[in-house]
Chain A
Amino acid sequence: MDLNLKLKIWRQKNNTTGGHFETYDVVANEHMSFLEMLDVLNEDLVNKREAPVAFEHDCREGICGTCSLTINGQPHGPNAGTTACQLHMRYFKDGETITVEPFRAGAFPVVKDLVVDRGALDRIVQAGGFVSVNAGQAQDGNAIPIEKERASQSFESAACIGCGACVAACPNGSAMLFTSAKVRHLGLLPQGEVEEEQRVQNMVAQMDHEGFGMCSNIGACEAECPKEIKLYNIAYMNRAYFKAVFTGE
């Protein structure tokens, strides 16, 4: 079935100019993905010699974390546990108006149209989101058994795709969910536990330095996270942080 849609899309030339909404008509097929619908619009714009809408994407299957659209006010759109690239048009109605904006946050400057710079998230990881082990230094993989349940909890946090939807969802623009997922992923494993004190302090300091906001327990991040990273990651990080601050020198 075909859907006749009105798109209200944020257009912004670069990070020095302001932006505004433009309205476009597009006809989409219900089997298309949201991004394929934008492809159709862009093909149309190019054929009319108008500037296509810049948006980021790569894997188009919900794993690379590149796509970053706020659809009708929600980062990644209306469906729970779904990235924008996995959203299909069958969830929209004929005649609907859809608003599309970039992920908005103080720490994510707009590059162009719907594209933002999320480099701050990389810098948080660089501050300590790793295990200090060089290639060739490892012992046998089975030397330390890890409880199945613990490995699986660690995996749940490690499933974060670094998309930044949590930041865009948060009224304070906080990166707590992202940062805490990394802290918990590594902290739950014997290999990562060793460095936890230093890690959590460095990562939190970097987070503040990048200008991300404070966490005031609103929970919007959890609601919009496409990988269903839970708030208890934040609780875990807070515990680790206080432990580090109060037991450290």
Chain B
Amino acid sequence: MNLDSKIPAGPLAEKWTKYKSTMPIVAPNNKRKLEVIVVGSGLAGASAASSLGELGYAVKCYTFHDSPRRAHSIAAQGGINAAKNYANDGDSIYRLFYDTVKGGDYRSREANVHRLAECSVDIIDQCVAQGVPFAREYGGLLENRSFGGVQVSRTFYARGQTGQQLLIGAYQSLSRQISLGSVTMYNRHEMLDLVIVNGKARGIIVRNLLTGKIERHAAHAVVLATGGYGNVFYLSTNAMMCNATAAWKSVKKGALMANPCFTQIHPTCIPVSGEYQSKLTLMSESLRNDGRVWVPKKKEDAEAIQQRKLKGVDIKEEDRDYYLERRYPAFGNLVPRDVASRAAKVECDKGHGVSPTGLAVFLDFSAAIERYGHIEANKHGNHNPTKEEIKILGEKVVSEKYGNLFEMYEKITGDDPYKEPMKIYPAVHYTMGGLWVDYNLETNVSGLFALGECNFSDHGANRLGASALMQGLADGYFVIPYTIGTFLANEISTPKISPDLPEFIEAEKKVIDNINALLSIQGEHSVESFHRRLGKIMWNHCGMARTEAGLKEGIEMIRQLRAEYHKNVFVPGSNDEYNPELEKAIRVADFMELGEVMMLDALNRKESCGGHFREESASPEGEAMRNDAEFTYVAAWDWNNGNPEMHKEPLIFENVELKTRSYK
């Protein structure tokens, strides 16, 4: 299969502008006649649906949530990047582009990433105009902070609730289009299959989650913005309902899954505390602006802490190992996520972990509280503050910046992070892999587009912090409104697609058969118990460190688990009712197939890059080693009826020189 990325010709910085002004356009009177299905109402879906509605297309938008505002994007905490250079610290579109390509360990497409950096600037303007209350300076201008993997301040934020505020902005725009009648919203409708007619994506099969009714919906084109697949690991920072079904069903209909093994393990999450745990909570990366990561230098100290005989505050300064600052002096606590996560694992594997399970490190704010306290005291003209005064003033600053995160931490753990350093450990967070798309964000299935976390396009093997929100909104507000025209311009004389075509009837029947099959197993174990087992296999065999033997074993285990699932799962209730267990059962079945392809991809990629760390490919100091000669390509997987097959899209770098990523 020839994977044509359709990257426009010309110099990098001019590609998008030129392409935009020369691409085919659909006239307004024709737009009204063209129907577009958008699945998903997160940042990518809501921004796409509202923008396409504004342009005049007849849009139908679907979400399995009870309201578009509940999408997982709501939970993003830290911020959104943009190359505004308001901080005047040397930022530029090129620098954001360069940081993202480097941060992604040179496994993303130059042209896509450059376009993303260009759009970033407009996103902030758009959001401000919608009424997003970003953080501001005393002078009334927008405020910025820094995130990992970069040396400038380009992250815009709204306290610790940036995703919420951005999503509400997009939701409001979407609500406006709904009220104007250009978008029809289908809440509580879950896409369970893609319908392809004569080689083009023409519709979807959905389940009405309230009644269980299976419905056929048709349109001229289908846009998926259904988020990532991190929940394949069961425990992750993703919301509980996040799943891969829409994307995976499309793969089973011929779309390709690109770089599925590229998953991001986030270094700062609240550690696992027990078997009953249902999800993990992220502590935003923005905390690494001010928090210092450490473990005790002496193993005895760590053991005493594990046995609750000592506390973090009892360890003297000289007995602390600020291992990120020690190993990576240039970036210190702000190294990219993959590097920080692996470093935490190394310390814990050596026995220096600080929780009863030994799987945690400290994130400490005492130095920041002291530093801010001094600054504040000076601002107030107090040049001789007492220790207590410094602490009070410093805590106030820290609370203004991260108050809600500190509260969240205290609610979950019962510990007060102002008094005791936080305990954190890496957890699954984001998936860089996703549906393969070309420069137009179109998959290899004609008329099927993929946006946001659902596609693979911009983050290579590792995503930098605050870049997912940027990508979702760039795709939805500024890319798809143009690029969908490349497909729809050829469809202006295609009449309305009928949902009664044989392809729809057949797909509907398959969905119903599949549901009946799951319901009729009536086995012994709950869906949840299978999902937990799947998650453990994925984490142990395809997690932070991967080996050939481990992956081969993992693949066998998944295949067995899948066979057992289809013999022995118990799904209560029936199809024709509100049935969350059945919803889960369908999703977990898909995760089990996707999990296998993730492992196959990890096995194939015999190099370490970004979030993918193969133990066989490491330097003597334990740093990841890429193999550019053999693996500078996108691995795009075809499910091929259960015999997965890989296709390559070579990555060509014309502007950036491939270097060993060093943060030392």
Chain A residues proximal to chain B, CB less than 8 Å: 13-14, 29, 31-33, 35-36, 39-40, 43, 46-47, 49-52, 54, 56-66, 82, 86, 88, 90, 111-112, 115, 117-119, 121-122, 125-142, 145-148, 151-152, 154-155, 158-159, 161-162, 185-186, 189, 191-192
Contact A148 B66 (CB under 8 A): no
Q: Is the CB of A155 within 8 A of B158?
A: yes
A33 to B276: give the CA distance in the assembly, Å. Answer: 10
Cβ-based interface call for B549 (8 A): no
**Contact A135–B175 (Cβ < 8 Å):** no
The answer to whether A191 and B128 have CB atoms under 8 Å apart is yes
Known A-B contacts A14-B578, A122-B175, A126-B175; the reply to A136 vs B478 at CB < 8 A is yes
CB-nearest residue of chain B relative to A145?
A: B140
Which residue of chain A has its CB nearest to the CB of B124?
A141
Interface assignment of B179: CB less than 8 Å from any CB of chain A: yes
Which chain B positions have C-beta within 8 A of A134?
51, 54
Nearest-neighbor residue (CB-CB) of A47 within chain B: B526
- Chain B residues whose C-beta falls within 8 Å of the C-beta of A128 in the assembled complex: 179
Asked whether any CB of chain A lies closer than 8 Å to the CB of B586, the reply is no
Q: Are B408 and A86 in contact (CB under 8 A)?
A: yes
Q: A54-B580, A66-B66 are in contact. Are A148 and B172 (CB under 8 A)?
A: no
List residues of chain A with CB within 8 A of the CB of B240.
57-60
Instruction: List the B residue with the shortest CB-CB distance to A28.
Output: B276
Cα distance A134–B125 in the bound complex, in angstroms: 12
Residues of B contacting A88 in the complex (Cβ-Cβ under 8 angstroms): 411-412, 414
A–B pairs, 14, beta carbons within 8 Å:
A32-B276, A61-B75, A66-B70, A90-B414, A111-B210, A121-B67, A130-B176, A131-B129, A133-B173, A142-B86, A145-B136, A145-B141, A158-B158, A158-B165
- The interface stretch among B248-256, B277-285, B325-333, B443-451 is B277-285
Which residues of chain B have C-beta atoms less than 8 A from A117's C-beta? 66
Residues of chain B having any CB pair with chain A under 8 Å: 47, 50-51, 54, 65-70, 72, 74-75, 84, 86, 122, 124-131, 133-142, 158-159, 161, 163-165, 168, 171-173, 175-176, 178-179, 185, 187, 210, 239-241, 273-274, 276-279, 281, 408, 411-412, 414, 477-478, 481, 526, 528-529, 570, 572-573, 577-578, 580-581
Min Cβ gap B620→A in Å is 40
B176 and A132 contacting across the interface, CB-CB below 8 Å: yes
- List chain A residues, Cβ under 8 A from B133: 151-152, 154-155, 158, 185, 189
Q: A132-B176, A138-B128 are in contact. Are A147 and B140 (CB under 8 A)?
A: yes
- Which residue of the partner chain B has the closest CB to A158? B133
Contact A59 B239 (CB under 8 A): yes
Top 7 A-B pairs, shortest CB-CB distance: A145-B140, A130-B172, A138-B129, A138-B125, A155-B133, A141-B128, A135-B477
Which residues on the B side are within 8 Å of A32 (C-beta)?
Answer: 274, 276
**Which residues of B are found within 8 Å of A132, using beta-carbon distances?**
176
The one of A31, A115, A131, A140 that contacts B172, using a Cβ cutoff of 8 Å: A131
Partner of B125, one of A141, A146, A161: A141
Assess the B126–A135 pair: CB atoms within 8 A.
Answer: yes
| Residue of B whose beta carbon sits closest to that of A128 | B179
Cross-chain contact B171 with A61 (CB below 8 angstroms):
no
B179, A36: Cβ atoms under 8 Å?
A: no
Nearest Cβ distance between residue A16 and chain B, in whole angstroms? 12
The contact of A119 among B66, B128, B411, by CB within 8 Å, is: B66
Q: Knowing that A158-B133, A191-B129 are A-B contacts, what are 17 other residue pairs whose CB atoms are under 8 Å apart, sorted by A's residue number?
A: A43-B528, A49-B570, A59-B74, A60-B279, A61-B75, A61-B281, A63-B161, A88-B411, A111-B578, A118-B67, A122-B175, A126-B178, A126-B179, A131-B172, A136-B477, A159-B161, A161-B164
Q: Name the B residues within 8 Å of A57 (CB-CB).
A: 240
The chain B residue with its CB closest to the CB of A60 is B279
Q: Which residue on chain B has the smallest CB distance to residue A151?
A: B136
Query: By CB atoms of chain B within 10 A, which of A32, A130, A137 has the most?
Result: A130
